[in-house]
Amino acid sequence: MIDDKLQIAIETLKKSGVRITPQRHAVLEYLLTSMSHPTADEIYKALEGKFPNMSVATVYNNLRILREIGLVRELTYGDDSSRFDSNMNDHYHIICEDCGKIVDFHYPTLDEIESLAEKVSGFEISHHRMELYGKCHECSKVKVQ
């Protein structure tokens, strides 16, 4: 499953004429296997053992390229710790208010909101974003004493 996804992603890279460096391959593979929506820093830390000469800037650069090709989505939260998601299907996110964990939430896309918003505002709506907040399973188990 992961191998299939990786294979397809690599084909997409090749078709876009992007050179597949070992680091780029590793960043992509990490994103496809990790469902945790990591930050660039987390990706860097996870891969620095394998690539001691790689810098955070290299990770950012690779993420930017992957985003431009449409293999990765960047989730911004108004600070500088963007998170990266390799799940390009439409989905929503549930975010833990305590530990910041983000999990995918599959729910039919709320298209009717977009058409209603277009009607009432005259905007041409391009997309929408919805996040649900709460406490994850691990965090709600921790009892405050």
Residue 105 or 123: the one with the smaller Cβ distance to Zn ion is 105
Taking the C-alpha atoms of residue 109 and residue 141, their distance in angstroms, rounded to an integer, is: 31
Listed ranges 26-34, 40-48, 50-58, 130-138: which one lies at the site for Zn ion (CB under 5 A): 130-138
Closest separation between CB of residue 75 and Zn ion, Å? 8
Q: Spell out the residues 6+ positions from residue 64 whose beta carbon is closer than 8 angstroms to its own.
A: none
The string over 29-60, giving b where at least 16 C-beta atoms fall within 10 Å of a residue's C-beta and e elsewhere, is bbbbeeeebbbbebbbeebeeebeebeeebbb
Stretch that binds Zn ion, among 10-18, 20-28, 54-62, 80-88 (CB under 5 A): 80-88
Chain centroid, CA 28 distance in Å:
11
Radius of gyration of the chain (CA): 18
**CB of residue 101 to Zn ion, shortest distance in Å:** 5
Interface with Zn ion by CB under 5 A: which range of 2-10, 40-48, 78-86, 112-120?
Answer: 78-86
Q: Is 82 in the site for Zn ion (CB under 5 A)?
A: no
User: Which residues sit in the known binding site for Fe cation?
Assistant: 128
- Distance of closest approach, residue 77 Cβ to Zn ion, in angstroms: 13
